[in-house]
Chains A and B, each alone.
Chain A
Amino acid sequence: MIEYKNVLTVCPYCGCGCNFYLQVLDGELVGILPCKSHLVSQGKLCIKGWNAADFVISKDRLTKPLMKKNGKFVEISWDEALKVVTEKLKQYSPDAVAVLSSAKCTNEENYLMMKFARAVLKTNSVDHCARLCHASTVVGLGKTFGSGAMTNSIGELEDADCIFVIGSNTTEQHPLIARYIMRARAKGAKLIVADPRLIPLTQFADYHLRQRPGTDVALLNGLMNVILKEGWEDKKFINERTEGFAELKEVVKKYTPEYVEKITGIPKELIMEAARIYAQAKSASLVYSMGITQHTTGVDNVVSCSNLALLTGNVGRPSTGVNPLRGQSNVQGACDVGALPNVYSGYQSVADENTHAKFEKAWDTELPSQPGLTVVEMMNEAAKGNLKAIYIMGENPMLSDPDIHQVKKALENLEFLVVQDIFLTETAQLADLVLPGTSYAERDGTFTATDRRVQRIRKAIEPRGESKPDWQIICALARKMGSKGFEYSSPAEIMDEIASVTPIYGGIGYERIEDIGLQWPCPSKEHPGTPYLHQGKFSRGKGKFFGIEFKEAAELPDADYPFILTTGRTIFHYHTGTMTRRTEALNREVPTGYVEINFKDAEKLNIFEGEIVSVKSRRGKIEVKVQVTRKVPEGVIFIPFHFAESPANALTNSAFDPVAKIPEYKVCAVQVEKKPSLP
C-alpha cells in the first residue's frame, strides 16, 4: 500500500531555522514542501532550503566505515571500526587527544560529544567551528549583557523603527531574516547599512556607511561621540540599568566625526545623520554577523555594538537589541550545549567548582577541571606534536580554518585522526578512519535557531547503507570504551538529560516542542520561553559599558601586498560546500570560486572579467577567476570561501583575537597578479 508522509523538519543550512516538510513516498525522498504555519519561514524558503533534499540522495554519501590501509581507504565493518578507535584513543593521555564537534549536528549529538570528551577521554579540548564565526559574540556579549546570544526574535525586526546592519550580508547569509528587514522597511523603518561592499541590502538602505575593512570600532565610537555631543543618549536607562558609563564617555570623546572620517573613510555628515536616525528611533535593532566578529578585534567590535545599544536604551524591549546572526543551522545549539573548551552546557564554566561538582555527580565520573584547547590551538599543538589524536564529527577544517596549509600540516602530523561525516570531505581524506554519519533527514533531534528557538528535526527516511546517526555512534563508542552513562534509547531521552543539567534549557522537552519550539532561557516546564532577553534586568545584573580604543587589523596592506582581502559567502552556497556543491541547482548558479575586484583596480592591473589571476598572501597562493565589479571598493578584493579549488583560507591570517581566539578572516593583505600569458 502507498506510504506517503510529510515530515516536518528544520532546514539544515543557515541559522534562520526555517521549517519545511520532507515529502516521502514509499521511503523515498521526493520533494520539499515549505511550512506555512512556521513562525519565521511562513511557507517561504531560500534557494538552499528549496534544494535541501538533493545532497541527501547524492551518490557520494558515505555508507560504510572506511579505514586507510597503505594510503587507500578500504571498507571495514562497524565492529572493527569501533574496535580500532577504542584501542587508539585509549593509548593517549587526556592532554594528547581532542574532539571537534559540529554545528551541523543536533543539540543531543553535541551534548554527547562534549560528554564523551569530558567524561570518557577526560579532556576539555572540545570545540567546534563557532570558534571561527561567533566566539567573539559569546565572549563580548557575555561581558556586557551576561548572555552571548541574539537578544531579540527574528520576527520582531519587522516592527523596528530603525535597523542598523553592520558586518552582515543578511540577504545572502540569512535570507529569511532579510525578509523581516525588508518588511520593516516597507512599513517605514529606516535602514542603515555599514559594509565595505555593495551588498543587496545597500540599495534599500537609507544610509550606506562604507567603512574601510577593520575600522568598525572607530565607526561605532564615532556614532556614540555624536550621540553624546547632541545629548541623544537615554539617560534614564544609563542611570538605572548600566554601569561603566564614565569610562565609555572618556574614550569616545576623541572619536569626533572628523577623526572617524579619517580612519574609516566615511564622510562625517553620513556618520552624524546615521547617529541621529539610530538614536532617535523609538526602537532600534542592531544586526551584525561575521563582518564584526571575524577580526583580531572581534570582541572589541562586539562590545562596541553593545555599547551603542546600551547608550540609547535599545535593549530589553521588543524590536530592539543587539542581534548576532549565527551562520549554521545549529551553531547556536552547539554552543548552548557546551561543545566549547571552557564551558559545559548552558555556558556553565568548567573552572567553576560548583559546576564541576554538579557535572561529576550528574555523570557519575571524574572530570577534568582545566579548560581545554580551542580549534586554532588544537591545530598549533598538533603541528608541534603535543596533540596526537583528534576525533572530528561533521567538520571540515581543511577548508573552513584560516591558513589551511598550516592545518594540513597539523592534521598530517597526528598519529590518529578519526572523521565522522556524511561525505568524504577534504578533511576526511586525511583521516585514518572514517565513520559514516547520517544527514538531517535520517535522524531525530533538535536544532537551536539563531534566535534561541529550540526546534525539532525529524527522521524522514532510513539511513543510507550502514551509516548511523551520530548520537548512536558516540554512544556505541563510549560503551565500547567501558563508560557508563551512554545508554539512551532516543534523542528525547538525551534532551531530558540536557534539561536536567542546563538551567537555560531546564523546561525544554520534546513533548513541548512538537509544534513551534521554545526560545531559551526556559528554566522550567511551565515557562513559556523568552522571545527577547534582558527585560527589566540583564542576565549579569547591569549592562556594562567598556571604553574601547580603535586598533588596526593585524595585517595591513603594504607595497608588497597592496590589497585588502575580505572573505565571505554567497547565497547559493553554504560553508565548505560539502552539501551545496552536491546540489545541482546551486552548482549551476555558482559552479566555482571567484574574486571580486573593483573595475578601477582591474583596469590598472590590466585584467578582465573571467580571467584567471593568482592571489597571493604571506601564507599561500591561489588561482581564481576574476569578477570585475563595483561591489567592492578600490583596494579591496572579496573571495567566497566555499571552494576547495580556490580556497580563500589558503590566504587568510590565523592571527586571532586575544580572548575569543577567533581568527581574522575579514582582513588580510594580498597581492593580485595577472598570470603571464602563454608564449
Chain B
Amino acid sequence: MIEKLKKLAKEYLVSGKVEVIFGLREKDNHLAPHIFTKVEELDSLVVSPQYPLFYTCRPSKKNIIRLIEEKYPDIKIGVIVKGCEERALIELAKRNQIEMKNIEILGVACSREEAVECKCPRPYPNHPLLGEKVEGVFEDKNIEGLLNKGWSERLAFWQSQLSKCIKCYGCRNACPLCFCQDCAMEQELWSKIGEIPPEIPMFHFIRFYHLADRCIECGECEKACPMDIPLLTISKQVRKDVKELFNYESGLDVKQESPLLTTLDEMPMKEGANE
C-alpha cells in the first residue's frame, strides 16, 4: 500500500496538482512530519497510525497548517491524512482555525488491527484514496468495568488515576483541537497553580468538558500522558453521548455546526437527557 501511496503522491507532485506534500517521513529509524517538495524525497514517505501529523504548535497555539497558510497563502499543499487527521482538519476549519482552501486531501484508511490498537471509532477518512473502510472500535475496556460500578467506586478509580497527574499539560498540548489562547486549565481561578497533582477532578474536567463537542477521538491525549492515565475512556464515552443526544459527530462535515453552539430548534436534543 505504501508503494501505491508513493506513486500517488508522485503523480500529485509531477502533475502540479499540488506543489508540496505534507506527510510522515522516516529518518534514522524515527518518524516525523515532513514537507516533501521533490519527487526523490518520497522514498522516505511512510504512514503510521501511531504518529500524528500535527499537534497544536506552542507557544503560538496554531496548527502547523495554519502557520504555513499564513506564510504561503497561495501554495497548494497535499496532505496525507488518516481518518483522525482528516477529522481534525475538518473540525479546525469549522472553527476557523485553518482555511483549507489550498489543501488537497490524500486520505488513507487504516486496517482493522490498527484501529483496534488506537481504539479508533472511524479508522478512515471520508473518501479514502487508499485502503478499505473497516469497522471502528466504540468501546474501551475501562468503561465497561466502570459503568458496572457504583458512584463511589468510580470516583475512587478516578481519584487514584488522576492523582498521578504531573501537570505536564501533555494531554492538552497533544490535542489538535486544543487551541485556545487562554487555556482554562492554566488559570488559577479554576485549578490551583504550582502544585501536583492539580485539583481533582477539576483540572481534567475542564478538558473533558471543553472537548465534548470537538474531540475527534484521535487518542493523542492519552498517548501523551506520562502517567498512563486512561483519559480517552471518558472522552470516548462523551463523544458517544453527544452522538446519541444530538445525532452529531465532530470532524465529519465543515458545514455542520456544534450542537453546543446552536439552539434546540437548529439541533434538537433527545428528550429526557437532563434527568
Contacts and interface: CB of A to CB of B under 8 A. Distances in A.
Q: Are A and B subunits of one complex? A: yes
Interface stretch (A60-68, A252-260, A486-494, A585-593): A585-593
Contacts of B263: none
B167 A2 contact: no
23 contacts: A4-B64, A5-B34, A6-B32, A8-B30, A23-B64, A30-B60, A32-B58, A34-B174, A34-B224, A36-B51, A37-B29, A45-B226, A46-B166, A46-B226, A47-B166, A50-B169, A53-B58, A179-B228, A186-B228, A200-B196, A570-B194, A588-B193, A589-B167
Contacts of A515: 28-30
Given A30-B57, A30-B67, A43-B223, 16 more contacts: A1-B37, A2-B75, A8-B32, A26-B71, A31-B58, A36-B50, A36-B51, A36-B223, A45-B168, A45-B170, A46-B166, A50-B173, A53-B59, A182-B228, A203-B163, A589-B194
Q: Which 6 A-B pairs have the closest CB atoms?
A: A31-B57, A44-B226, A6-B32, A590-B194, A515-B29, A4-B35
B59 A54 contact: yes
B46 to A, nearest CB: 12
Contacts of B194: 570, 572, 589-590
A343 to B, nearest CB: 33
Given A44-B170, A171-B166, A589-B194, A33 B55 contact: yes
Given A36-B50, A179-B227, A44 B169 contact: no
Given A33-B55, A51-B58, A182 B68 contact: no
Contacts of B60: 30-31
Nearest to B32: A6
Q: Is the interface of A mostly helix, strand, loop or mixed?
A: mixed
Interface residues of A, number: 52
A33 B33 contact: yes
B225 interface: yes
A496 interface: no
A362 interface: no
Given A4-B34, A25-B71, A30-B60, A571 B169 contact: no
B28 A8 contact: yes
A584 B32 contact: no
Interface string A577-607: 0000000110011100000000000000000
Interface of B: 20, 28-35, 37, 50-51, 55-60, 64, 67-68, 71-72, 75, 163-164, 166-170, 173-174, 186, 193-194, 196-197, 223-228
Contacts of A43: 223-224
B13 to A, nearest CB: 13
Contacts of A249: none
Contacts of A171: 166, 196
A176 B226 contact: yes
B227 A182 contact: yes
B21 to A, nearest CB: 11
A56 to B, nearest CB: 11
A198 interface: no
A183 interface: yes
Nearest to A46: B168
Given A2-B35, A4-B35, A515-B28, A179 B226 contact: yes
Contact of A590 (B57, B67, B193, B224): B193
Contacts of A572: 194
A579 to B, nearest CB: 15
A175 interface: yes
A613 to B, nearest CB: 18
A333 to B, nearest CB: 21
A101 B168 CA distance: 31
Contact of A6 (B20, B33, B56, B168): B33
Nearest to B198: A589
Contacts of B51: 36
A516 interface: yes
A172 interface: yes
Contacts of B34: 4-6
B29 A516 contact: yes
A193 to B, nearest CB: 15
A224 to B, nearest CB: 32
B207 to A, nearest CB: 15
B196 A571 contact: yes
A237 interface: no
A200 B197 contact: yes
Contacts of A588: 186, 193
A103 interface: no
Interface in A467-518: 514-516
A34 B223 CA distance: 11
Interface centre among B35, B58, B197 (most CB of A within 10 A): B58
B186 A50 contact: no
Contacts of A47: 166-169
Contact of B32 (A21, A49, A50, A516): A21
B31 A31 contact: no
A179 B29 CA distance: 24
Contacts of A34: 170, 174, 224
A37 B31 contact: yes
Given A6-B32, A25-B71, A515-B30, A50 B59 contact: no
Contacts of B186: 585, 588
B30 A25 contact: no
A1 B37 CA distance: 9
B168 A50 contact: yes
Contacts of A644: none
A548 interface: no
A137 B240 CA distance: 54
Nearest to B27: A8
Contacts of A570: 194
B167 A571 contact: yes
A600 B108 CA distance: 62
Contacts of A30: 57, 60, 64, 67
